[in-house]
Chain A
Amino acid sequence: MLQASNIIKNFPGVHALRDVSIEVRPNEVVGLIGENGAGKSTLMRVLAGGYRPDGGSLTLDGEQLRMRNARDAARHGIGMVFQEQSLVLNLTVAENIYLGAEDRFTRFGLVNWRAMNTAARRQLAKIGIDIDVTARTSELTFAARQMVELAKALTLEEVVERQLLILLDEPTSVLNAADIEVLFARVRSLKSRASFVFVSHRLDEVLNISDRVYTMKDGAVVAEHRAAEVTAPELHEIMVGRGLQAEYYREARQLAPRDTVMVEAKGLGANGFYHGVDLSIRAGEIVGIAGVVGSGREEVTRTVGGFVQHDAGEMKIAGDAVRFGSPEPAVRKGIGYVPRERRLEGLVMFLSIAENISLADLSSVMRHGAIDYGKERRLAADWIKRLRIKAPGPDAACRKLSGGNQQKVVLARWMTAGSRILVLDHPTRGLDVGAKEEVYELVRDLSAQGVAILLISDTLEETIGLSHQVLVMRDGEITARFDASPGNKPNQVDLLRAMV
């Protein structure tokens, strides 16, 4: 039905898709798995008309496809249910389902809302969902919104005279187990009318719902299986691939931590997120937390960074009990937070490298109460040299740097601010292999200088490779602790067992 051949898509500094070929057959559910950054979402966007590929071709029933936007894709019967929900919250359910397709209900320029509501009700009935179509979308639960999205994608069959292709981009990430079952039941019953591409992090889900599974890694498809003929651990092995490469993570440079305890938590808890967390990070130590989405590890790191307030237990930073309500006191305590969304939270993209570096501690470049621009530029030039930041100079705008170099600027800022504790929240997300290695090198440098580091990462491999100690969390609790000194690294299977 749909054939994607040799698709190539590049972004500045990143090869997101290199030579990807997949096919989707009629009445089939195709699973697509891979680590973050493997290229799944990019591929989905290409299929949905959101990105135009730089190379390769798409054919639908043998006919060449050229799509400029989501509208074109819809015309060909391709609909997408997004990971980030794509409903306008201030509109009603019916208005959302037919947003952009009101023409059918329009006569003499006036929209017949009653007809639209009836049609929306019929559409929801088809997938067996009972939701008030005149309710505001913002009042629905996440699960209900997901169903509305599915119904919206299915309206295409009212206008397109061919089998639909529905792309589900991590639809289960916000759903609980019961809702996932409901969604899967819908997908199965709709298979007679449509084909699906299903993206998820959860391998068992993918195997449960799919007929065939493609595994992606570093922007390429590395394996194709019939779902019945493969197991989740096998897929995981392929997905992660690389195996443990001591060299890659600079294990030889992993030094024994010092004695000073920089972060200490006892019985730490935050309502609804995690509880009973004991944690200790010494100077020069890297502690990694492994866990799936929803395990609470994100919230633990955000507590240390000052974004989430804990309401049970106690936390000590360099011996002083603290309870942060916002990042600002955390920064004053010498904690630097390196966020995963560099573009949103890490850097002020329009400012120069120099301005970004001095942002957290302007006093370091002040003289007589005024900013000394010369000093600021010299400081930045120094960091550019020390961290090997590839940039024209201290005045270059951060938005023009590649992801790896942006990450270095974030780290330089915290070093300038005198951070003795760093929280690394997915520090290599979106970086390509070379840039990752540079970040690892830098992390080792920092650790050697006695910086205490708390790490969460997209891959187990990275967590194990970098850390001195790995904690595993599940459902808001620490379920296992592993020593990860060089030569004594735990293996991924042990971690996985404690994770799920």
Chain B
Amino acid sequence: MSLIPGRIATFFGGRRWRSLAPLAVLIVLCVLIAIANPNFIELRNLVRLANSAAVPLTLAMGLTFIILMGSIDLAVEGTLSVAAMVLVLLAANDGNGNDYGWWAVLAAVAAGTAMGFVSGLVQTMLRIPSFMGTLGMWFIGLGLSVYMLGGTAIKLNDASIRDLALHRFLGLPVAVWVAFGAFLFATVIQYHTKLGRHILAIGGDEDVAKLSGVNVVRVRITAFALAGFFFGIAGVLAAAQLGQSHAVIGDGRLFAAVTAVVVGGTALTGGEGGVVNTLIGVLIVTVLANGMILLGISPYIQQTVQGLMIIAAVALSLDRVRLRIVK
């Protein structure tokens, strides 16, 4: 059985030149920034870069599956904050007397998965478009975590969980390795399992998938739960990195995740792209953010640039001929 290598080869073998464009953009970006400020390629900066990519990468893995399906999951920030809240409140913290150690991590990831599962149920059982359903879940999650945290920041005191961010293995923080593990896991799911293939088929043509005997409802629910699972892990990583959880821990994460997926070349209409594309997308977004800081660009301009980037990415990648009507 040929695992990842075969697929990566087909991907980079370029079914179309477009699939290579994001990689080219990444390389050009790195070269330009390195020329403008050589500090960019210093080891210290590269580690910082990897560190700041960890949470977005994990989030974007989950989101990729949803977007591949032609749906959207806006509950990224809500789910992340719930997971972070569960983690901090169950592990040793300065708000209550709990100290469940790594069980808290497990519970946090489970909470994220459960949120995604509910999103999936809302979409398939209540037949509510994912845009609205997950918009609701976003605020349910946000409200829940603000309420549980009592509106303040609560510190995470469990040293072994904090080590996710503080301890280094082969020079990189453990969180980076976890995110990389999430990427490998997502790759296996997308390219080597039935679920991954069925997600792609639903994004390509849901009616046909249904006629071929694909259980569309089950695939959709599973995909949302899977996305929630990744968001849960991201929540753990985010809380470990910050050493605390507070109401706005998720701020800006949705935008970054959607941008990464889209910039990587996954079509919002579904059916095209995948987690390998998203890895490159995350790197582009992170490198650009890092580069702009190194070049001393005002944070407000940085936001504007990111906004421009997402529109440009869609404009360049979308097969607009295929899209009969734009909504």
B211 & A91 in contact (Cβ 8 Å cutoff): no
Q: Any chain A CB within 8 A of the CB of B298?
A: no
Q: Within the assembled complex, what's the spacing in Å between the Cα atoms of A234 and B273?
A: 54
Pick from B2, B200, B204, B210 the residue with the most CB of A within 10 Å: B204
Cβ distance A141 to chain B, nearest Cβ, rounded Å? 18
Number of interface residues of A (CB under 8 A): 28
Cβ distance A455 to chain B, nearest Cβ, rounded Å? 27
B2 & A95 in contact (Cβ 8 Å cutoff): no
A91 & B200 in contact (Cβ 8 Å cutoff): yes
Q: Any chain B CB within 8 A of the CB of A118?
A: no
B209 & A99 in contact (Cβ 8 Å cutoff): yes
Q: Any chain B CB within 8 A of the CB of A70?
A: yes
Interface residues of B in 101-143 (CB under 8 A from A): none
Q: Any chain B CB within 8 A of the CB of A106?
A: yes
Q: Any chain B CB within 8 A of the CB of A354?
A: no
B204 & A70 in contact (Cβ 8 Å cutoff): no
Q: Any chain A CB within 8 A of the CB of B30?
A: no
Interface flags for B1-44 (1: CB within 8 Å of A; 0: not) read 11000100000000100000000000000000000000000000
Cβ distance B199 to chain A, nearest Cβ, rounded Å? 11
**Residue numbers in A under 8 Å from B194 (CB-CB):** 102-103, 106, 111
**Residue numbers in B under 8 Å from A90 (CB-CB):** 200, 203-204, 271-272
Cβ distance B139 to chain A, nearest Cβ, rounded Å? 27
Q: Any chain B CB within 8 A of the CB of A373?
A: no
Q: Any chain A CB within 8 A of the CB of B201?
A: yes
Q: Any chain B CB within 8 A of the CB of A154?
A: no
Query: Which A-chain residue is minimally distant from B3 (CB atoms)?
Result: A110
A100 & B204 in contact (Cβ 8 Å cutoff): no
Cβ distance B164 to chain A, nearest Cβ, rounded Å? 27
Q: Within the assembled complex, what's the spacing in Å between the Cα atoms of A338 and B210?
A: 32
Q: Any chain B CB within 8 A of the CB of A112?
A: yes
B200 & A70 in contact (Cβ 8 Å cutoff): no
Q: Within the assembled complex, what's the spacing in Å between the Cα atoms of A380 and B219?
A: 45
Interface residues of B in 178-194 (CB under 8 A from A): 188, 192-194
Q: Within the assembled complex, what's the spacing in Å between the Cα atoms of A188 and B271?
A: 36
**Residue numbers in A under 8 Å from B207 (CB-CB):** 86
Interface flags for A79-91 (1: CB within 8 Å of B; 0: not) read 0001000111111
Interface flags for B194-220 (1: CB within 8 Å of A; 0: not) read 100110110111011111111000000
**Residue numbers in B under 8 Å from A74 (CB-CB):** 213
A88 & B211 in contact (Cβ 8 Å cutoff): no
**Residue numbers in A under 8 Å from B188 (CB-CB):** 110
Interface residues of A in 55-70 (CB under 8 A from B): 69-70
Q: Any chain B CB within 8 A of the CB of A109?
A: yes
A113 & B201 in contact (Cβ 8 Å cutoff): no
Q: Any chain B CB within 8 A of the CB of A114?
A: yes
Cβ distance B99 to chain A, nearest Cβ, rounded Å? 35
Pick from B197, B198, B212, B271 the residue with the most CB of A within 10 Å: B212
Q: Within the assembled complex, what's the spacing in Å between the Cα atoms of A86 and B207?
A: 8
**Residue numbers in A under 8 Å from B214 (CB-CB):** 99-100
**Residue numbers in B under 8 Å from A95 (CB-CB):** 197, 201
Cβ distance A136 to chain B, nearest Cβ, rounded Å? 7
Cβ distance A63 to chain B, nearest Cβ, rounded Å? 21
Query: Which A-chain residue is minimally distant from B211 (CB atoms)?
Result: A70
Q: Within the assembled complex, what's the spacing in Å between the Cα atoms of A91 and B200?
A: 8
**Residue numbers in B under 8 Å from A112 (CB-CB):** 1
**Residue numbers in B under 8 Å from A113 (CB-CB):** 1-2, 6, 192
Q: Within the assembled complex, what's the spacing in Å between the Cα atoms of A389 and B198?
A: 45
A102 & B197 in contact (Cβ 8 Å cutoff): yes
Given A99-B214, A109-B193, also A86-B208 (CB < 8 A): yes
Partner of A110, one of B1, B204, B209, B272: B1
Pick from A96, A110, A136 the residue with the most CB of B within 10 Å: A110
**Residue numbers in A under 8 Å from B2 (CB-CB):** 113-114
Q: Within the assembled complex, what's the spacing in Å between the Cα atoms of A95 and B207?
A: 16
Cβ distance A480 to chain B, nearest Cβ, rounded Å? 36
Cβ distance B204 to chain A, nearest Cβ, rounded Å? 4
**Residue numbers in A under 8 Å from B204 (CB-CB):** 88-91
A89 & B205 in contact (Cβ 8 Å cutoff): yes
**Residue numbers in A under 8 Å from B203 (CB-CB):** 90
Query: Which A-chain residue is minimally distant from B271 (CB atoms)?
Result: A90
A70 & B213 in contact (Cβ 8 Å cutoff): yes
B→A interface (CB under 8 Å): 1-2, 6, 15, 188, 192-194, 197-198, 200-201, 203-205, 207-214, 271-272
> Can you report 6 A-B residue pairs in the complex whose CB atoms are below 8 A from each other?
A87-B208, A90-B204, A91-B200, A101-B213, A102-B197, A110-B1
**18 new A-B pairs (CB below 8 Å) besides A74-B213, A86-B211?**
A50-B211, A70-B210, A70-B211, A71-B213, A86-B208, A86-B212, A87-B208, A88-B200, A88-B209, A90-B203, A90-B272, A91-B204, A99-B198, A99-B201, A101-B213, A102-B197, A113-B6, A114-B1
A→B interface (CB under 8 Å): 50, 69-71, 74, 82, 86-91, 95-96, 99-103, 106, 109-114, 136, 152
Task: In the A-B complex, list the 6 residue pairs whose CB atoms are closest, starting with the nearest.
Answer: A100-B213, A90-B204, A100-B212, A88-B204, A71-B213, A99-B212
